[in-house]
Structure formats: structure tokens, C-alpha cells
């Protein structure tokens, strides 16, 4: 009897001395996930070109002069390519700006004369590129339209162009496009595993297009130049990519590589 009592007391003492474990809640069970990318899209390729720096400097000037009605982005088709003629400053009859078209940036300078509802502007590209030329256009403030012509300095290389542009405001919108999820949330493998090579490439390019990347590749340009929301804003937008977009681009790249390495097994 005495031995039994001692044994019972010992067991109770051990039980009371043991630390009671807290119940596991869903929050406590969740392990933070660290996303590591194989290819960081912000670091792929060469250093940022000086032309992109000039674009960014001009945008600052444009924003500082935004109260003038003719200052801003004038966007539309320029032959077969979409162009953005950005007018950054008009002062003392002088006009300063730049163009972004087909993956190219060209600074433009010239003259501007104004009446009540009309600006007459003449702008020249530097002449250091064989495709540089001469812009003459009118801005009609009543309907926010720009109409004009462009002629190359060197005849016979490219044709003259006539164009009509409208004033546009650029705003980054992650919901734009056919695959808005690629900018608005982290993609899972199920989001991309059933896409073919063309769809994967388009999803990836849409991310860059939302930031206004001007595509050099002809096929890519054709995909976006006719899209209403797309405005060519720059030639290097890598540093504008969000963390979500960088991780999603990495996932898309992995599936594109898998597609190339295992074409037959992938079943496309």
C-alpha cells in the first residue's frame, strides 16, 4: 500500500513538472516562405543604357511642366509602329522632348509657336542615326490631338510618314492585359504548366509592357502596339519590376526552358 502511494505521488509529480505544450494553431504552423529566384530579371542583361537615364531626366522635367496643356505624352501609330512623342518643355519659343518607338529613344529639339488653341511645333532628331528625321506637327488643344509629318534627313532609306496622335497619361496598372495575375499575385506552377511556348512568352512580355517597355523585336511590337492600354515609355524598365513580377518572370523562364529542353515530352 505504501509502495503504491509513493508510486502514485511520483507519477503525479512528474506529470505536473512537465511543460504543457501550447496547441498548434494554423498561424503557428505556417512557415514563412523565402522566394529565391534563379534568374533575377532586374539583373539580366547589360547595365542601364545612358539613353534610359536621359528619358528619366526628361520625364522629371515633363512632370514639372505638366500644367502646360501641350506638355505630355502624344501617342499613336507611326507607320506600323506605335510612337510616344514626349514634349517635356516649351520655353521662350524653344521645344525640348524625345521620342520612344520600336525600342529606340531619340531626343528632339526645335521651336514652338502658340495661339489660343493651337501649337505649331517643329522638332529635329540629332542626325547621328541613319533613321533620324524632321518632325512638323500641330497640336489642337480643343480635342487633344496632334497631327503632323515626319521626313528622314537621308532620302531613300525610309519613307516619309503622316501621323495623328492623342495625348495620353501613363499609369502603371497591374490589371492590364490578358494575364493580369502575372503582375498582381505570385503565380503557382498550375498557372503556367498548361501554357504553350507562345503563351508563356506573351505572359512574360505583358509584365514588361505594363511598365511601358518599348520592344525592339518585331513580333513583340506587333503584339502590343495595337493594344489600347500600352504606351511605349522607355527602353529599359528592369528596375521598375516589382518583387512579385521578378518571381513570376523567373517561374515563366523555368517553364520556357523546360519547354525547349523537353519539347516532345511536354506535348506541345
3-state class (DSSP) for residue 24: coil
* 155 plus 247 within the same structural domain: no
Let me know if residue 185 belongs to a domain.
Answer: yes
| pLDDT recorded at residue 35 | 60
Task: Assess contact for 83 and 75: CB atoms under 8 A.
Answer: yes
Let me know if residue 113 belongs to a domain.
Answer: yes
Q: What CATH number is given to the structural domain containing 160?
A: 2.40.128.20
Report how many domains make up the chain.
2
* 154 plus 92 within the same structural domain: yes
Domain of residue 125, residue span: 65-168
Look up residue 234 and give its DSSP letter. B
For 215-251, letters b (16+ CB in 10 Å) and e give beeeebbebbbeeeebbbbbbbbbebbeebbbbbbbb
* 117: Cβ contacts below 8 Å, ≥ 6 apart: 140, 141, 142
pTM to 2 decimal places: 0.84
Let me know if residue 238 belongs to a domain.
Answer: yes
Q: How far is CA 139 from CA 15, 69, 136, 144, 213, in A?
A: 87, 10, 10, 7, 26
* 96 plus 131 within the same structural domain: yes
Q: What CATH number is given to the structural domain containing 258?
A: 1.20.58.1690
Cα–Cα distance for residue pair 17/60, rounded to 1 Å: 68
Let me know if residue 7 belongs to a domain.
Answer: no
Let me know if residue 79 belongs to a domain.
Answer: yes
Q: What is the DSSP string of 178-224?
A: S-THHHHS---HHHHTT--HHHHHHHHHHHHHHTTB---SHHHHHHH
Cα–Cα distance for residue pair 258/65, rounded to 1 Å: 49
Q: What is the DSSP string of 78-108?
A: ETTEEEEEEEEEEETTEEEEEEEETTEEEEE
Q: How many Cα atoms occupy the beta-carbon half-sphere of 136 within 13 Å?
A: 4
Cα–Cα distance for residue pair 267/76, rounded to 1 Å: 40
Cα–Cα distance for residue pair 38/251, rounded to 1 Å: 9
| Per-residue pLDDT in tens (0 to 9) along the chain, 268 residues | 444 444 434 444 444 444 444 443 333 333 344 467 888 999 999 999 999 999 999 999 999 999 999 999 999 999 999 999 999 999 999 999 999 999 999 999 999 999 989 999 999 999 999 999 999 999 999 999 999 999 999 999 999 999 999 999 999 999 999 999 999 999 999 999 999 999 999 999 999 999 999 999 999 999 999 999 999 999 999 999 999 999 999 999 999 987 777 654 433 3
* 73 plus 156 within the same structural domain: yes
Let me know if residue 11 belongs to a domain.
Answer: no
| pLDDT recorded at residue 10 | 44
Q: Which long-range contacts (CB under 8 A, 24 or more apart) does 263-268 make?
A: 268/196, 268/197
Q: What is the DSSP string of 122-162?
A: EEE--S-STT-EEEEEEEETTTTEEEEEEEESSTTTS--EE
Amino acid at each position: 500500500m505504501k509502495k503504491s502511494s509513493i508510486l502514485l505521488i511520483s507519477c503525479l509529480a512528474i506529470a505536473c513538472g512537465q511543460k504543457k505544450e501550447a496547441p498548434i494553431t494554423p498561424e503557428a504552423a505556417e512557415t514563412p516562405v523565402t522566394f529565391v529566384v534563379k534568374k533575377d530579371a532586374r539583373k539580366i542583361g547589360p547595365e542601364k543604357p545612358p539613353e534610359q537615364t536621359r528619358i528619366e531626366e526628361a520625364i522629371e522635367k515633363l512632370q514639372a511642366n505638366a500644367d502646360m496643356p501641350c506638355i505630355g505624352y502624344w501617342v499613336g501609330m507611326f507607320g506600323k509602329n506605335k510612337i510616344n512623342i514626349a514634349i517635356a518643355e516649351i520655353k521662350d519659343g524653344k521645344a525640348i522632348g524625345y521620342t520612344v518607338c520600336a525600342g529606340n529613344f531619340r531626343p528632339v529639339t526645335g521651336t514652338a509657336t502658340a495661339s489660343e488653341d493651337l501649337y505649331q511645333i517643329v522638332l529635329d532628331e540629332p542626325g547621328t542615326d541613319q533613321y533620324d528625321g524632321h518632325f512638323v506637327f500641330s497640336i489642337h488643344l480643343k480635342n487633344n490631338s496632334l497631327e503632323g509629318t515626319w521626313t528622314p534627313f537621308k532620302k531613300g532609306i525610309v519613307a516619309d510618314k503622316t501621323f495623328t496622335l492623342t495625348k495620353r497619361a501613363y499609369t502603371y496598372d497591374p490589371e492590364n492585359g490578358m494575364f493580369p495575375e502575372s503582375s498582381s499575385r505570385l503565380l503557382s506552377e498550375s498557372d503556367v504548366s498548361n501554357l504553350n511556348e507562345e503563351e508563356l512568352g506573351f505572359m512574360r512580355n505583358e509584365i514588361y509592357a505594363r511598365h511601358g517597355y518599348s520592344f525592339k523585336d518585331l513580333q513583340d511590337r506587333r503584339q502590343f502596339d495595337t493594344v489600347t492600354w500600352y504606351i511605349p515609355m522607355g527602353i529599359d524598365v528592369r528596375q521598375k519590376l516589382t518583387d512579385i513580377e521578378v518571381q513570376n518572370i523567373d517561374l515563366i523562364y523555368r517553364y520556357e526552358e523546360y519547354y525547349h529542353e523537353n519539347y516532345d515530352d511536354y506535348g506541345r
